[in-house]
Structures are given as C-alpha cells and as structure tokens.
Amino acid sequence: MDEDTGGERPRRSAARATAPTAPEARASAAGVVPAAAPPARHDPIPTPLRVASEVSGRLLVVAAALGLLIYLVILLRIVVIPVAIAVLLAALLAPVVQWLAVRRVPRGLATALVLVGGLALLGGLLSFVINTFISGFPELRRQLVASVTSAQQLLAGPPFNLPDDWLADLPARLGQTVSDNRGALTSGALSTAATVGEIVAGIALAFFALIFFLYDGPRIWRFLLRLAPRSHRDRVAVAGLRSFATLVGYVRATAIVAIVDATGIGLGLYLVGVPLAVPLAALVFLGAFIPTVGAVLTGTVAVLIALVANGPVEALIVLAIVIAVQQLEGNVLQPLLLGRAVRLHELAIVLAVAAGVVIAGITGALLAVPLLAVVNTAVRSFTAPHEHDPASVDAVDPGQALPPTAGPRRPGTLARLRHRLLGPRGE
C-alpha cells in the first residue's frame, strides 16, 4: 500500500509539471504559439554593493536633515537657547507649582510665588558670592604677587638662569603688548558688548518663556500634540510626558549633586585656608551642571588657586578633597538619584558634551546631556510593546519616566550586597 502511494506521487507531480497553464491552454486552442520566456538578466552590480549604496543614500539624507536642523538651531540660537534653558528651569520648578495647585492654590498665584521665591533665592546667592569675592580679592592679589616673586626667583636661579633685567621688564613688556594691540582689544570689547546685549535679551526671553511654561504648560503641550498624526497622538503624548518626567528627574538630581559638590569642596577649601572659598564653591556648583567635564574643570581651578595662594602641600590636600567628592558623586549620588530612567553611559555623556561644546560652546555642553536623556526616554517609550493611557502618566513624577515594559527592576544596592554575602533567599 505504501509502495503504491509512493509511486503514485511522482507521477502526479510530473503530470502537474507538464500540464499547460490556463493562458497557455487558451492560446493553444486559438492556434497561437506562445513566445518563449526571455532569459534572466545578470545583474552586473554585486548585491552587497547595491545594499551598501542604498543604505549610504538613506544615511546621506538623514545626515542632511540633521545638518539643516543644526544650522537652523545655530542661526536661531538667540531664541533656541533661552527657550531650552527655560524648559530646564520649568522642569526644576514645575513640581513645586503642581504641588501648590493640588492644594487648591490658583495656578497663577502658585507660579508667581515660585518665581518670586526662586528669584529672591538666586539674587541673594549671587549677592553673597559677589560680595565675598570682592572682599577676598585683595588677599588673593597679595598671594599672587608673592607667587610671582617666588617664580621670578626660581627662574633666575639654576637650571633656568634667566637674566634679571628680562624678568624685571616683564610687567613693562606686558603693558607695551597691550598698547600695541589696542585696536584688537577695542574690537574685542565691542564684540563683548554685543554679546552682553544678546545675553540680556536671552535672559529676558528665558524669563517670559518660563512664566508661560509654568502657568500654561499643559495647554501648550496639547497644542503641540496637534502636529502629530491622530492615529499616533496618544503614543506621542505618552512619550512626551515621560520625557519631561526624565528631565524633571535629571534637573532635580543634578541640582542636589551640585549642592553636595559645592558644599564638600567649599568646606574643604575653607578648612585648608584657601582664599575665595565661597566663590570657588559657587563655581563648582555651576560646573556640576555640565556632567563629568564641569566637575573636572572647576576642581582644577580650585587646585590651581590653592597652589598659587597656599603652596604645593595645600594644593595636594585640595586635590584629594576634589577627587573624594567626585568619587562620591559618580559612584553613590548619581546612581542613587538619577536611577535607570536617565542613566547614560559615560562614553555617551562625554561625546554629547564634546558635541555640545563644538556646536554651541558652554551652553551646548550644558544642554547636550539633558537632550540626550530626553531622546533616550522617548525612544524607549516609542519602542515599548505597550504603553499606558496619557491621562495616567504624571509628567512631573520622575518615577514614571520608564515605560511599563522596560524590563525587570534592578535590585537595589542593599539587595545586591545581601545576595553576595548571604546568597539567594532559601539557600
């Protein structure tokens, strides 16, 4: 029985293969001989080369679009940068406004209270730092003069053996250099004045944008959502809300880390006896908002001033304090405060800061990492298999920055330590 079946199948397959198709049967009935099929053409371009060319073409289009976007941002930097800074400040202050609004405070009054309180705090801090700098500058100048004198004595002796008249005429030569380049300095001063005018205009624009972001932020976001296709509007809304929650967490954590850095390094400078400890602590606070690079630069400035003002031993002590504070920041504070939602690889942070510096200087370095964190969260939300309803996502809660299917939750530090010491539970 099996042999008959096995022999019948090849005969049926051969019959199907030799049977004419329906168009061939109709053509044969009409007496028309069908034309022979043309021979297959051989493609002279290898498949890998063709695929590579198509991918390269698409990459060129994407690169051109990104280049145009960057060109527009640079062209409109006087508008883009203040608005971006206003968004960062809104991420820092919006939770306070939301907290007051939940407690039945009118949103306009809550916005006014937060802005007035923030401006008062910022103005008091700047006044304190400037007054401290002015009062401590004579001592720093005295230390600088003493350091220059000791440096001249060092250069006059072996192994440098520079002539005394050359070292004595150094201030006069500096003055002559200034006189010879007066035209260049004047043009530089004029450009600086123009830059100061741009800065003042940018501060005013950032302030007004911040007012409207805090007072009318939800309605502005609903208006922007109209640009998205209706079929994907909910997904875009959730991605935007989670991105802003990431920004809230990033700014909050960065502010806390900056306060800890400034307090630790400033206290160390004060105990060592370095002049201008408070202005240097304020500089460390501002530099902490530029991840990785800012802490290194401001710490280097503190060490150099300690070296000039106090000597090499105190400079080494300040260097040890700076390294200890930065290790505390990198290994404890940032992982604890930022969490998985805004944690980025160190290489990605350094590359983002470098690209920001090339594109927009210090401002680009300040905005590059939060922009990268926002894009990272948006991509995670878009690529998640499932997302929540937009009404259930709180934009000012950093705990809702991750989509629900972002993966299993990573155990905390204490849980990992217990696992290493005691093993898994139940063993």
pLDDT at 148 > cutoff 80 = no
Helix (H, G, I), strand (E, B) or coil at 212: helix
Residue 118 inside a domain? The answer is yes
Within its chain, how far is the Cα of 287 from the centroid?
Answer: 14
Residue 24 inside a domain? The answer is no
Higher pLDDT, 287 or 216: 216
Crossing angle for the helix pair 182-225 and 170-180, to the nearest 10 degrees: 70
Higher pLDDT, 251 or 16: 251
Give the pLDDT mean for 179-186.
52
pLDDT tens-digit map of 66-78: 889 888 888 888 8
Residue 239 inside a domain? The answer is yes
Q: Under 8 Å CB-to-CB from 263, ≥6 apart: which residues?
A: 281
Domain that holds residue 132: 76-172+202-403
- Give the Cα separation of 302 and 52 in Å (integer): 51
What DSSP character marks residue 333? I
Residue 379 inside a domain? The answer is yes
The beta strands (E) that lie in 12-142 are given as none
Range in 196-210, 290-304, 393-407 with the lowest mean pLDDT: 393-407
pLDDT at 58 > cutoff 90 = yes
Give the pLDDT mean for 111-139.
78
Residue 6 inside a domain? The answer is no
pLDDT of residue 191: 47
Residue 145 inside a domain? The answer is yes
pLDDT tens-digit map of 220-234: 988 999 888 888 888
Residue 104 inside a domain? The answer is yes
- Give the Cα separation of 171 and 324 in Å (integer): 39
pTM confidence score: 0.68
Please count the structural domains in the chain.
Answer: 1
pLDDT tens-digit map of 78-124: 888 889 989 988 998 899 999 998 888 898 899 999 999 888 887 78
pLDDT band of residue 61 (cuts 50, 70, 90) is very high
Residue 61 inside a domain? The answer is no
